[in-house]
Copies of this chain bind each other. A is one copy, B any other.
Amino acid sequence: MNDGVIEDMGFATVDLDRERRTGFPEVVMGEGKTVEQIASIAKRIYDASGVVLVTRSVEKAADAVSELIPSAQYEPSCGAIWADDRGLDAQHRGLTLVCAGTADLPVADEAELTARLMLCEVTRVNDVGVAGIHRLLAHEDVLRTAKVVVVVAGMDGALPSVVGGLVAAPVIAVPTSNGFGTGLDGYAAMLTMLNSCAAGVSVVNIDGGFSAGYQAAMICRVGN
């Protein structure tokens, strides 16, 4: 079957209509796919859209993609592969990305990359976990002018609640798997965020930098 918008590649049915429906082409989840599958799906999307993003993949897959899409790049911290030949400037402003600890940076990087490919500018605030709350408060002005705030945190996952109480913008909280023992690979941080005592906080999957960046970019688009 290939009716122009859905293309059946046998092992994959690429949803080429997705860009029309949702404003951005299908993003490929690399985990669980073979290198060959990743490369051929990425190529097909890239050919149709001029832009492609693969998340959570290994460097070997990036090499295979690069053979088909020479401009493809790889970010090893989060395993993202992407290519963008649309030549478009950022069109949306107001996304602030707050990261609790140094170990959470790869997840924040995935969020930033996603939002940038969706043509959002991203303002970063790094390593401002709640154990030294004055580090965060020093950024209060940047936070208050945001249209949407993504907050990435592992361990106790407490940062989104504090940020949520400071801002008038929606907060998207991203639990990370950083921590040990009762951190339960990010589950503890996720529960913290779902029970935030601050209103206006919603949550994505553990290590879900892509999901958060994607939704935040959607929200930025609302306001431009």
Contact = CB atoms under 8 A, between A and B. Distances in A.
Given A33-B102, A132-B18, A177-B181, A158 B13 contact: no
A127 B13 contact: yes
B157 A33 contact: no
A165 B132 CA distance: 5
Given A56-B180, A180-B205, A210-B199, A23 B155 contact: no
Given A156-B196, A191-B191, A168 B102 contact: no
A193 interface: yes
B205 A11 contact: no
A49 interface: no
A56 B169 CA distance: 24
Interface in A164-204: 164-172, 175, 177-204
B204 A202 contact: yes
A215 B200 contact: yes
Given A148-B222, A192-B192, A32 B197 contact: no
Given A130-B161, A131-B165, A202-B211, A192 B194 contact: no
A156 to B, nearest CB: 5
Interface in A9-62: 10-13, 15, 17-18, 21-24, 26-27, 29, 31-33, 37, 41, 56
A132 B6 contact: yes
